[in-house]
């Protein structure tokens, strides 16, 4: 009998400890988010859709959350990281292409004339993508992207790009995963440019990454099979392309969407017009001191329509300055 | 002190019970597989890649397994299930299209002339797909496919198609999932035709389904957003398309691939030419009595090259007749 009593006491103590630690964990999970409406909206939403028996309950299988990448999970200023990769690759490959010195858009890249690159338009961009992202097999491209991301540095901070991810968003991903959400990246960036590092940096595996892509073909040479990357754009996962990319890759409508620019507008619109409770959230870059301040007029990550219409649509606008007490992982 | 001893005894007994139940579970997991080389190859492979510290160990994140659908997870005779869907839909829609009575390939469909349908070739097929799979929004198509699969019956057995899935393969999916594999369908069939029921029938969620697709666009009408399905083929996930579909959707090379026809050849080739231990497996339909017997000359699910080259490549050839003691779930 004393034995039973001791066991019961032990179970009660263990239970109390577990409960206390669950509360602490919940508080810690979003530690970089200041108390305020943004944090509250997130916690209220997650609590509502995970409360079994509640009116807003969503079963785990349908808890799909989608995150934009550039400007939402990591920085996109002064230029998109992938554009920095393109510029670096053109410079690295230039010795094999003496003709580039006199041919646009390569000429502008080599003399560092970003305006000239921009002036080459979509055709120029396709040429740059073809020269830097295609013509090799999938394993070789993965190695090129992996090697570059391991050594490239941000022009302002001198830090690796993968250390300039947003700590509050990392916490948000973990918080959602801890509540049985399936978390996906849905980015305008190249799908194969992101996949080599998203699992390590964000805890999001390659199969949960949706992005823009070029065409590829299967080829067997001397009995050795390979996926060969072709210089032809296959899919642009931006703006109205994002709901289409979600339909193709995920096959169901998300209940939560996180973005920062007008390229995410349709993804948030599609998500928040679904049945049941949903969450749409936009990160507003208004922190010139700790990061960057930009919105309606920025060439990268322009946020205009979302800033005007978002609040009317019930979307949460996150002020980087006021809502986040940390920007980067320490 | 007696209390401690009782607790220890309890822990030992609980441990022994757990161990015994694990062994029973393992035996039961592949209950419809007869003892033989096919079953042994599967168990040996899974044991090898999940044995921590062993030479063939693969971490859970990389345990990707891909399954063909038609002829591998469910039947494909006398015609592909999705073709039966197309024929039924043409008949259902015919009253709205009086001109179909005199126009191929619809005319042949309406008089039940399968050879005439086949003679209309790829162009005819595209027309049939356009008429039956496109022109509606994604939710409407999901409803059409869901309603059809709930009521359609196999012409020979009179059973719902979803009850004619292969019990041994269901056990194999569960067995792999129990060993922390990520299980995907990679099918030549339409991705949105499969997704409404794969989770319920196979336990494979929509986001783990890769298939052929038509193009789609995002559209907002009167403030109501929709994904509209367009009458244009986007991607054929068959033959050399399968490794490309895997690259696009999963982003890493599988370590196990399961198919039944030459449409799966490249998927098995791509999988089994990866580094480390892999498993390639082909279901050979040689059971005329309990299912169908067909291979090198079948118009649906033709298996010729795989049957000749598979064994030389170390692929496991499953004899439905000899290796399976059950075909369908009881």
Closest-CA residue to A114 (of A127, A101, A124, A100) = A124
Q: ipTM value of the model?
A: 0.91
- In a domain? residue B2: no
How many domains does one find in chain A? 2
My answer on whether omega of the bond before A105 falls inside 30° of 0, hence cis, is yes
**Contact between B218 and A6 using a beta-carbon 8 Å cutoff:** no
**Contact between B218 and A266 using a beta-carbon 8 Å cutoff:** yes
- In a domain? residue B330: no
Least Cα separation, residue B86 to chain A (angstroms):
21
A194 with A318, same domain: the answer is: yes
| Cα–Cα dist A250/B63, whole Å | 20
- Tell the burial category of A141 from Cβ atoms under 10 Å away from its Cβ (0-12, 13-18, 19+): buried
Best residue in B64, B226, B251 for a mutation probing chain A (most A CBs within 10 Å): B251
| Cα–Cα dist B82/B128, whole Å | 12
> Is A200's Cβ below 8 Å from some Cβ in B?
no
A45 with A126, same domain: the answer is: no
Question: In chain B, which residues have their Cβ closer than 8 Å to the Cβ of A7?
Answer: 3, 7
Position A125 confidence tier, pLDDT thresholds 50, 70, 90? confident
Tell me how far the alpha carbon of residue B42 is from its chain's centroid.
18
- The pLDDT score that the predictor gives to residue B321 is 98
Question: In chain B, which residues have their Cβ closer than 8 Å to the Cβ of A252?
Answer: 195, 206-207
B105 with B226, same domain: the answer is: no
A278 with A204, same domain: the answer is: yes
- In a domain? residue B188: yes
What percent of chain B stands above pLDDT 90?
Answer: 86
Length, in residues, of chain B: 330
**How many CB contacts within 8 angstroms connect chain A with chain B?**
96
Least Cα separation, residue A291 to chain B (angstroms):
32
Best residue in A212, A247, A255 for a mutation probing chain B (most B CBs within 10 Å): A247
Least Cα separation, residue B9 to chain A (angstroms):
13
> Is B250's Cβ below 8 Å from some Cβ in A?
yes
- In a domain? residue A3: no
A98 with A49, same domain: the answer is: no
Using CB atoms, pick whichever of A199, A250, A273 lies closest to residue B207.
A250
Using left for φ > 0, alpha for ψ between -120 and 50, and beta otherwise, residue A203 falls in left
**Closest chain B CA to residue A64:** B207
**Contact between B225 and A270 using a beta-carbon 8 Å cutoff:** yes
Report H helices in chain B: 2-29, 37-50, 81-93, 106-110, 114-119, 121-133, 138-151, 167-178, 191-202, 241-249, 265-272, 305-309, 320-323
> Is B243's Cβ below 8 Å from some Cβ in A?
yes
pLDDT at A10 over 90: no
**Closest chain A CA to residue B226:** A270
**Contact between B249 and A3 using a beta-carbon 8 Å cutoff:** no
Sign of the four-CA dihedral A228, A229, A232, A235: positive
Question: In chain B, which residues have their Cβ closer than 8 Å to the Cβ of A140?
Answer: none
Sign of the four-CA dihedral A73, B205, A272, B214: positive
**Contact between B249 and A207 using a beta-carbon 8 Å cutoff:** yes
DSSP letter for each residue of A273-316: TSSS--EEEEEE-B-TTTS-B--TT-SSS--SHHHHHTGGGTPE
Pairing, β A256-259 against β A279-284? parallel
Question: In chain B, which residues have their Cβ closer than 8 Å to the Cβ of A243?
Answer: 218, 225, 227
Position B26 confidence tier, pLDDT thresholds 50, 70, 90? low
Position B9 confidence tier, pLDDT thresholds 50, 70, 90? low
B146 with B228, same domain: the answer is: no
For the beta carbon of residue A15, count every other beta carbon within 10 angstroms.
Answer: 10
Least Cα separation, residue A234 to chain B (angstroms):
10
The DSSP 8-state label assigned to residue A99 in this structure reads G
Flag the least confident range among A120-129, B36-45, B191-200. Answer: A120-129
A96 with A222, same domain: the answer is: no
Q: Which of A119, A151, A183 is the last residue of a domain?
A: A151
> Is B7's Cβ below 8 Å from some Cβ in A?
yes
Least Cα separation, residue B169 to chain A (angstroms):
22
Least Cα separation, residue A8 to chain B (angstroms):
13
| Cα–Cα dist A236/A245, whole Å | 9
pLDDT at B12 over 70: no
**Contact between A224 and B273 using a beta-carbon 8 Å cutoff:** yes
Q: Can you give the CATH number for the domain in which B276 is found? A: 3.40.50.1000
What percent of chain B stands above pLDDT 70?
Answer: 92
B309 with B229, same domain: the answer is: yes
Average pLDDT, chain B: 93
B132 with B260, same domain: the answer is: no
- In a domain? residue A216: yes
Q: Which of B151, B171, B206 is the last residue of a domain?
A: B151
* Sheet of B209-221, strand order: B224-235, B209-221, B182-190, B64-67, B256-259, B279-284, B316-319
3-state secondary structure of B214: strand
Using CB atoms, pick whichever of B61, B192, B241 lies closest to residue A199.
B61
Q: What residue numbers bound the domain in which B172 lies? A: 32-76+157-323
Least Cα separation, residue B65 to chain A (angstroms):
12
> Is A138's Cβ below 8 Å from some Cβ in B?
yes
Position A308 confidence tier, pLDDT thresholds 50, 70, 90? very high
**Contact between B2 and A6 using a beta-carbon 8 Å cutoff:** no
HSE, CB side, 13 Å, CA atoms: give it for residue B98. Answer: 0
> Is A238's Cβ below 8 Å from some Cβ in B?
no
- The pLDDT score that the predictor gives to residue B115 is 87
| Cα–Cα dist B293/B282, whole Å | 14
Q: Which of A94, A121, A151 is the last residue of a domain?
A: A151
B171 with B315, same domain: the answer is: yes
- The pLDDT score that the predictor gives to residue B6 is 59
- The pLDDT score that the predictor gives to residue B128 is 94
- In a domain? residue B63: yes
Using CB atoms, pick whichever of B192, B225, B273 lies closest to residue A225.
B273
**Closest chain A CA to residue B246:** A207
- The pLDDT score that the predictor gives to residue A311 is 98
> Is A269's Cβ below 8 Å from some Cβ in B?
yes
B62 with B87, same domain: the answer is: no
> Is A250's Cβ below 8 Å from some Cβ in B?
yes
pLDDT at B19 over 50: no
- The pLDDT score that the predictor gives to residue B310 is 98
Residue A112 in tokens:
């560092």
pLDDT in tens, B137-181: 999 999 999 999 999 999 999 999 999 999 999 999 999 999 999
A100 with A239, same domain: the answer is: no
Residues 6 or more apart whose CB falls under 8 angstroms from that of A238 comprise: A188, A212, A263
Least Cα separation, residue B264 to chain A (angstroms):
13
Gap between the terminal Cα atoms of chain A: 52
Question: In chain B, which residues have their Cβ closer than 8 Å to the Cβ of A184?
Answer: 207
- In a domain? residue A247: yes
Closest-CA residue to B278 (of B96, B65, B59) = B65
pLDDT in tens, B220-258: 999 999 999 999 999 999 999 999 999 999 999 999 999
My answer on whether omega of the bond before B78 falls inside 30° of 0, hence cis, is yes
- In a domain? residue B165: yes
């Amino acid at each position: 009998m004393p034995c039973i009593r001791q066991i019961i006491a032990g179970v009660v103590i263990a239970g109390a400890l577990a409960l206390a630690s669950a509360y602490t964990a919940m508080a810690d999970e979003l530690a970089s988010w200041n108390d305020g409406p943004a944090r509250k909206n997130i916690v209220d939403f997650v609590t509502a859709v995970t409360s079994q028996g509640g009116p807003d309950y969503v079963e785990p299988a349908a808890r799909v959350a989608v995150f934009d990448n550039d400007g939402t999970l990591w920085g996109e200023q002064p230029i998109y990281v992938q554009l920095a990769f393109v510029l670096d690759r053109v410079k690295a490959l230039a010795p094999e292409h003496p003709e580039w010195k006199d041919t646009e858009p390569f000429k502008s890249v080599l003399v560092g004339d970003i305006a000239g690159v921009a002036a080459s338009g979509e055709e120029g961009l396709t040429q740059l993508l073809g020269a830097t992202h295609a013509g090799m097999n999938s394993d070789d491209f993965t190695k090129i992207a992996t090697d570059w991301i391991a050594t490239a540095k941000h022009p302002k901070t001198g830090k690796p790009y993968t250390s300039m991810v947003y700590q509050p968003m990392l916490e948000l991903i973990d918080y959602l995963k801890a509540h049985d959400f399936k978390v996906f990246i849905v980015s305008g960036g190249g799908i194969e440019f992101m996949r080599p590092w998203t699992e390590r940096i964000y805890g999001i595996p390659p199969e949960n990454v949706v992005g823009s892509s070029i065409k590829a073909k299967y080829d067997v040479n001397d009995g050795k099979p390979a996926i060969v990357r072709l210089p032809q754009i296959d899919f642009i996962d931006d703006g109205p392309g994002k709901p289409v990319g979600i339909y193709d890759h995920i096959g169901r409508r998300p209940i939560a969407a996180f973005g920062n620019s007008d390229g995410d507008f349709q993804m948030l619109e599609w998500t928040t017009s679904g049945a049941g409770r949903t969450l749409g959230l936009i990160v507003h870059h208004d922190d010139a001191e700790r990061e960057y301040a930009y919105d309606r007029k920025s060439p990268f990550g322009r946020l205009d329509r979302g800033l005007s219409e978002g609040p009317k649509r019930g979307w949460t606008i996150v002020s980087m300055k006021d809502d986040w007490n940390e920007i980067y992982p320490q």
